[in-house]
C-alpha cells in the first residue's frame, strides 16, 4: 500500500475549508445569496416571506373613522403585520397607478399610523366578542350578568320575541312591523303631519283611520308614527356601503324613521355645526346645507386650525400632515396657525399658536371696545399717531390686566394691538 503524504500547511488549509463549509451550512441565509450583473450580492427572492401577491390582503382599516386603506401581511394563515396600501393616496403620495402589477406593488409598504397597525391586537384580542351575548334570564339590567347563545337562537328571539328574560313578553320585530302597506304608511304620515300643524283635528284623524289605530304607537299622538318606529337603529360609526345597505332595509323596507349612522362619539357634532353654519335662506326657501367640508390645504396660503393640530390629532391622521407639509414646502409657502387650549407638538412647524385664555381675553376686550366689526375689520392705520385715541387704545381698554379701566396698557402692548 502506497504511503499518502501531506504537508502540514496543506492539511491546515483543507481543515479550514471543511470547517468553513460546515459552518456555512448552519447559516440558511448564506445559501440564499445571489450576485447581480454588477457583482453585488443580494438575498434571494424567497428570503422575505411577503414579497408575493398571495401573501398579502388589501383591506380597509376600521380602527378609527378615517377608514384608511391597508395591506395585511399573512404568514401561515395568521395576520402578522399591517401597513398602508400603496395604491391609495391616503397612504402614499404619489400613489401607485392601478395599472401596477400586484407582483410589483407587493414590494411597496405605505405609511400607516400606530392605531392602524394595532389592528392586529384588536383582531386577536382574547376579549373580542365573537358570540352573541344575552342578559341572563332572571337578572336585572345593569347587573352585568351574561350568557352566550347560538346565532340562530338570537335571530329567533329578535324576530319573534317572547318571554326572553323571565320578565314577561317582549315584542319581536315581526310584531312591531305593524304597517307593511306603503300607501297606508304614506297616508298616515301625511295626516299625522296635518294634525301636528293644526290642519286636521285628532278626532277627524281617528275617524279616518279607525281601522288602523292599533298599528300606531299612541293613537292620541299620531305624530309618533306607527309601531315600526319602535325599531331604533343606532350605529356609533358606520361607513359608506354599510350605511346605504342598512338604510335600505331599516327605512325603506321595515319603515322605521329611527335610523342613525352617527353619534356624538363619531363627529356628529361637527356635522351639525357645518349644517347650521352653511344653512341659507334664498328666494323663499332653505338651501340644502353642507354637512362636511375639507379645505384645500396644499394650495392654501393661510390656514388656521381651531382646537386641533394637523400634525398629531387631525382627521385623517395620515393625509392631513402630508398636506400641511406640502403647503409649507410648496411654492406659495403657506402659513399655518393654531388656536386652542393645548400647545400642539406640531406648533414648532406653525407660524403662530394662540392659547385659549388669550383668545378669550381678546374677545372680551374687543366686545367692550365696540364689537369685532369696528375693531377687527377696520383697515390698518398708515401712521400710529394719526389714529391713536386720546385716552389710549380701545382694544386694551377694560381688559382684566388694565386695573380699573383707566390704564390702557403699555406702549408695547398698544403697538402689538395695532394702536
84-93 residues labelled b (16+ CB within 10 A) or e (exposed): bbbbbebbbe
Q: Please tell me the predicted confidence (pLDDT) of residue 260.
A: 86
Question: In the β-sheet with 78-84, what is the strand arrangement from edge to edge?
Answer: 56-60, 69-75, 78-84
Phi then psi dihedrals of residue 148, to 5 deg: -95, 140
The cell numbers describing 62, all together, are: 376600521
Which residue's entry shows cell 385623517? Answer: 316
What is the per-residue pLDDT across 316-352, written as a single tens digit (0 to 9) for each? 677 777 777 777 766 666 777 777 666 666 555 677 7
Average pLDDT, the chain: 78
What is the per-residue pLDDT across 195-207, written as a single tens digit (0 to 9) for each? 999 999 999 999 9
CA gap 306, 332 in Å, rounded: 22
Domains and CATH numbers, the chain: 53-123 (2.20.25.90), 132-172 (no CATH), 176-259 (no CATH), 262-288 (no CATH), 297-350 (no CATH), 357-416 (no CATH)
Contacts of 89 (CB under 8 A, 6+ apart): 95, 319
Which residue's entry shows cell 407582483? Answer: 103
Q: What is the pTM of this model?
A: 0.60
100 alpha carbon, distance to own chain's centre: 29
Q: Fill in the DSSP letter of residue 76.
A: T
Q: Which residue has the higher pLDDT, 226 or 323?
A: 226
Mean pLDDT confidence for 95-122: 93
pLDDT band at 183 (very low <50, low <70, confident <90, very high): very high
What is the per-residue pLDDT across 15-48, written as a single tens digit (0 to 9) for each? 666 666 655 555 554 544 555 454 444 445 556 7
pLDDT band at 406 (very low <50, low <70, confident <90, very high): very low
Q: Other CB atoms closer than 10 Å to residue 257's CB: what's the count?
A: 13
The cell numbers describing 45, all together, are: 427572492
What is the per-residue pLDDT across 207-225, written as a single tens digit (0 to 9) for each? 999 999 999 999 999 999 9
What is the per-residue pLDDT across 39-67, written as a single tens digit (0 to 9) for each? 444 445 556 788 899 999 999 998 887 88
CA gap 394, 378 in Å, rounded: 13
Mean pLDDT confidence for 4-8: 65
**Kind of pairing between the strands at 352-355 and 69-75:** unpaired
Angle (nearest 5°) at CA 190 between 187 and 227: 70
Residue length of the chain: 419
Asked if 186 and 255 touch (Cβ cutoff 8 Å), the reply is no
Q: Please tell me the predicted confidence (pLDDT) of residue 39.
A: 47
Contacts of 86 (CB under 8 A, 6+ apart): 71, 92, 95, 96, 105, 108, 109, 110
Asked if 353 and 343 touch (Cβ cutoff 8 Å), the reply is yes
pLDDT exceeds 70 at position 398 = no
The cell numbers describing 72, all together, are: 395585511
Burial class (CB in 10 A: 0-12, 13-18, 19+), 392: middle
Contacts of 361 (CB under 8 A, 6+ apart): 399, 400
Asked if 163 and 178 touch (Cβ cutoff 8 Å), the reply is no
CA gap 28, 238 in Å, rounded: 48
- Classified as helix, coil or strand, 71 is strand
- Classified as helix, coil or strand, 305 is strand
What residues does 287 pair with on adjacent strands? 280
Phi then psi dihedrals of residue 85, to 5 deg: -85, 115
Quick one: what percent of the chain has pLDDT higher than 90? 42
pLDDT exceeds 60 at position 384 = no
Q: Which residue has the higher pLDDT, 345 or 382?
A: 345
pLDDT exceeds 70 at position 399 = no
Helix (H) or strand (E) holding 110: none
What is the per-residue pLDDT across 269-322, written as a single tens digit (0 to 9) for each? 777 888 888 888 888 888 889 887 777 777 788 888 777 777 776 666 777 777
Q: Fill in the DSSP letter of residue 114.
A: H
Phi then psi dihedrals of residue 240, to 5 deg: -60, 140
Amino acid at each position: 500500500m502506497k504511503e499518502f503524504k501531506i504537508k502540514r500547511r496543506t492539511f491546515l488549509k483543507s481543515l479550514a475549508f471543511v470547517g468553513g463549509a460546515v459552518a456555512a451550512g448552519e447559516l440558511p441565509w448564506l445559501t440564499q445569496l445571489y450576485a447581480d450583473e454588477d457583482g453585488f450580492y443580494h438575498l434571494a427572492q424567497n428570503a422575505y416571506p411577503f414579497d408575493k401577491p398571495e401573501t398579502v390582503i388589501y383591506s380597509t382599516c376600521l380602527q378609527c373613522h378615517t377608514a384608511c386603506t391597508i395591506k395585511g401581511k399573512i404568514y401561515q394563515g395568521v395576520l402578522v403585520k399591517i401597513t398602508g396600501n400603496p395604491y391609495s393616496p391616503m397612504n402614499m403620495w404619489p400613489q401607485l397607478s392601478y395599472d401596477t402589477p400586484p407582483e410589483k406593488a407587493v414590494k411597496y409598504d405605505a405609511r400607516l399610523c400606530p392605531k392602524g397597525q394595532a389592528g392586529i391586537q384588536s383582531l386577536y384580542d382574547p376579549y373580542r366578542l365573537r358570540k352573541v351575548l344575552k342578559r341572563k334570564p332572571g337578572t336585572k339590567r345593569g347587573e352585568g350578568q351574561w350568557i352566550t347563545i347560538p346565532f340562530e337562537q338570537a335571530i329567533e328571539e329578535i324576530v319573534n320575541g317572547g318571554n326572553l328574560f323571565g320578565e314577561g313578553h317582549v315584542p319581536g320585530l315581526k310584531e312591531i312591523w305593524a304597517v307593511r302597506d306603503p300607501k297606508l304608511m304614506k297616508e298616515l304620515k301625511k295626516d299625522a303631519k296635518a294634525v301636528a300643524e293644526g290642519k286636521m283635528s285628532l278626532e277627524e284623524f281617528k275617524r279616518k283611520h279607525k281601522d288602523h289605530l292599533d298599528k300606531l304607537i299612541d293613537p292620541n299622538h299620531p305624530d309618533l308614527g306607527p309601531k315600526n318606529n319602535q325599531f331604533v337603529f343606532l350605529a356609533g360609526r358606520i361607513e359608506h356601503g354599510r350605511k346605504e345597505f342598512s338604510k335600505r332595509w331599516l327605512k325603506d323596507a321595515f319603515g322605521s324613521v329611527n335610523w342613525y349612522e352617527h353619534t356624538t362619539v363619531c363627529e356628529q357634532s361637527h356635522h351639525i355645526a357645518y349644517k347650521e353654519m352653511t344653512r341659507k335662506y334664498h328666494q323663499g326657501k332653505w338651501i340644502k346645507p353642507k354637512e362636511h367640508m375639507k379645505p384645500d390645504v396644499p394650495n392654501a396660503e393661510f390656514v388656521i386650525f381651531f382646537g386641533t393640530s394637523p400634525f398629531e390629532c387631525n382627521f385623517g391622521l395620515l393625509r392631513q400632515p402630508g398636506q400641511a407639509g406640502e403647503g409649507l414646502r410648496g411654492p406659495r409657502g403657506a402659513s399655518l396657525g393654531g388656536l386652542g387650549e393645548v400647545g400642539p407638538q406640531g406648533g414648532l412647524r406653525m407660524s403662530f399658536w394662540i392659547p385659549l385664555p388669550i383668545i378669550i381675553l381678546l374677545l372680551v376686550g374687543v366686545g367692550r371696545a365696540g364689537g369685532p366689526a369696528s375693531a377687527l375689520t377696520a383697515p390698518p392705520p398708515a401712521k400710529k399717531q394719526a389714529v391713536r385715541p386720546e385716552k389710549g387704545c380701545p382694544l386694551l381698554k377694560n381688559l382684566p390686566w388694565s386695573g380699573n379701566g383707566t390704564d390702557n396698557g403699555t406702549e408695547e402692548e398698544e403697538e402689538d394691538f395695532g394702536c
